[in-house]
A and B are shown apart, each in its own frame.
Chain A
Amino acid sequence: MTRKLVQALPPLAAFTVLLLLWEAGVRYGFLKPYQFPPVSRIARGFVELSTTGFPTGVSIWSHALTTILRVLQGYGAALALAIPLGLVIGALPVVDKLTAPLIVFCRSVATLSLLPLVIVWFGAGELTKVFLIGYGCFWVMLSNVIAGVRYVDPTLVRAARTFGLKGLELYRSVVLPAALPRIFAGARMALGVGFMVIVGAEMIGTIQGLGALIMEARTFYRSEITIIGMLVIGLIGFAISAGLMALERAMLPWAGDLDRVRR
């Protein structure tokens, strides 16, 4: 424990020195505050955001909540569709071969390039934002579910076949559990994509949400607010991702290598 603390000291010190230099740089006019807002400014911005709000009346908490709800809706819908669909496609090699090019294509289309089209379809309301997030998450999740099912160790399938399992039962009791780690990994990747899309998705037709906050701040040259929005998005993504990992550990105690792989 103490050892860990001692180990953490040098980088912490370096970081503090950097922040102090930054602060000094702005104070003595080497750096422009609207380009490189110093810590003091960010702190003041945060106080403003959590009390009066920016734009006035919309606090950082309300921005964050809006964004979380949008991401969860899009992400949840994407998972709810991609998991069953992926399980079916993965089970049918012919269908997999037929759909593979389409899936790769759709996954490669940058989600935000769809923005104008989606606005034409759904207007500039909630649905557009949730749709864009969902689109990004869906293809990533789908390709991971399919890959998870397709690349199950054939020896495991053979072992099950020697005990008379076939068809649906084989799929349910061997292919599915064997694919779970990959499915979970896909869920984490898809979440990442959801947060990548959020700023763009909230660019239009709203003043609510962290993406909107960041764009709004840009208009007023309030760079410190952009940075706060960025930090909060990062923190939320981190928290949800950690939750997913905890869920994964609880549900797949046998996989167990997660920690070692990650560090």
Chain B
Amino acid sequence: MSQSPVMERRSPDTGVGGRGPAEAAFIRIDGARKVFTQRSGGAVPVLDNVDLAIAENEFVSFIGRSGCGKTTLLNMIAGLEDVSAGRIAIAGKVVTGPGQGQGVVFQQHALFPWLTAVDNVAFGFRKSGLAKAERCRRALELLSLVGLDAAAGRYPREMSGGMQQRVSIARALALDPQILLMDEPFGALDELTRIELQQELLRIWEARRKTIVFVTHSISEALTLSDRIVLLASNPGRIKRIFPVDLPRPRLRTDPGFNALYQAIWNELST
């Protein structure tokens, strides 16, 4: 695990991605709606008219009450869930399915229980056309990126929740996706591991230049990581407010700016 502090990537005056109105959006969500049809035949509107533009290399977090539609929105960007109305485009191309540069870290454990850690990561290369040995070599490389080379031969059930989550991240990075969609990836971890993994993630984001959409329930996690925090309201899910986070990285909880924003988000979230 890297302990090196993460440096501010952009000088503050260039404007953090996605906020300038004219700036080209990398991920563009236009009037996206989602309606689930229930078994009883009724229709539940889950997301209503979501508009959002995310710039390339931006780190955006979604925060909002349980059930407000964060996972659904993430899945729609991933191409795993249809859009009922409106559209979502990545780099100008309408999302019609997975495989348009989206890597996903799922909310629940989504490792294949019958594969060892290294094989789970190597699974990501299945359609890459690489030779088996090469896939394995790269998978090991990714595992060491998340600090897990020693556990390469273990099955998911033989790993702790935190280790499994790291394998999931390594696997999502397999095809070196431009976009990383992460659904509460550190939700079930202890505080220390969580902070370590946050630093790790920022390091990867730095080094590999990725656009990250990150779902979390933790305001301080969102503040530690993101360029912008998108607050969702529920019933139906919609964007309530967007908070730009203009604090230099590494971000400290003791920073007054950090605390002021924390308070502002808390107030907005709890009303």
Q: Which of A's residues lie within 8 Å of B, judged by CB? A: 153, 155-156, 158-165, 173-174, 177-178, 180, 252-257
Residues of the A chain whose Cβ atoms lie less than 8 Å from the Cβ of B86: none
Residues of B contacting A: mostly: loop
Given A162-B80, A164-B99, is A177 in contact with B124 using a C-beta cutoff of 8 Å? no
Given A156-B110, A177-B114, A253-B155, is A165 in contact with B78 using a C-beta cutoff of 8 Å? no
Q: Give, as a whole number of angstroms, the nearest-CB distance from A169 to chain B.
A: 8
Between-chain CB contacts (< 8 Å), 16 pairs: A158-B80, A159-B104, A159-B106, A160-B123, A161-B98, A162-B78, A162-B99, A162-B102, A164-B98, A164-B126, A177-B112, A177-B114, A180-B114, A253-B155, A254-B155, A254-B156
Q: Are A256 and B114 in contact (CB under 8 A)?
A: no
Question: With the chains together, A13 CA to B9 CA distance in Å?
Answer: 77
Q: Are B80 and A256 in contact (CB under 8 A)?
A: no
- Against A, the Cβ 8 Å flags (1 = close, 0 = not) of B150-165 are 0000011100000000
Q: Give, as a whole number of angstroms, the nearest-CB distance from B70 to chain A.
A: 16
Q: Give, as a whole number of angstroms, the nearest-CB distance from A25 to chain B.
A: 52
Those of B171-197 within 8 Å (CB) of chain A: 171-172, 174-175
Q: Are B112 and A156 in contact (CB under 8 A)?
A: yes
User: Is B84 interfacial (CB-CB < 8 Å)?
Assistant: no
In the complex, what residue of chain A is closest to B103 when comparing beta carbons? A162
Question: With the chains together, A178 CA to B123 CA distance in Å?
Answer: 15
User: Is B127 interfacial (CB-CB < 8 Å)?
Assistant: yes
Residues of the A chain whose Cβ atoms lie less than 8 Å from the Cβ of B263: none
In the complex, what residue of chain B is closest to A253 when comparing beta carbons? B155
Question: With the chains together, A178 CA to B175 CA distance in Å?
Answer: 23
Q: Are A165 and B126 in contact (CB under 8 A)?
A: yes
The contact of B126 among A156, A173, A252, A254, by CB within 8 Å, is A173
Question: With the chains together, A163 CA to B174 CA distance in Å?
Answer: 9
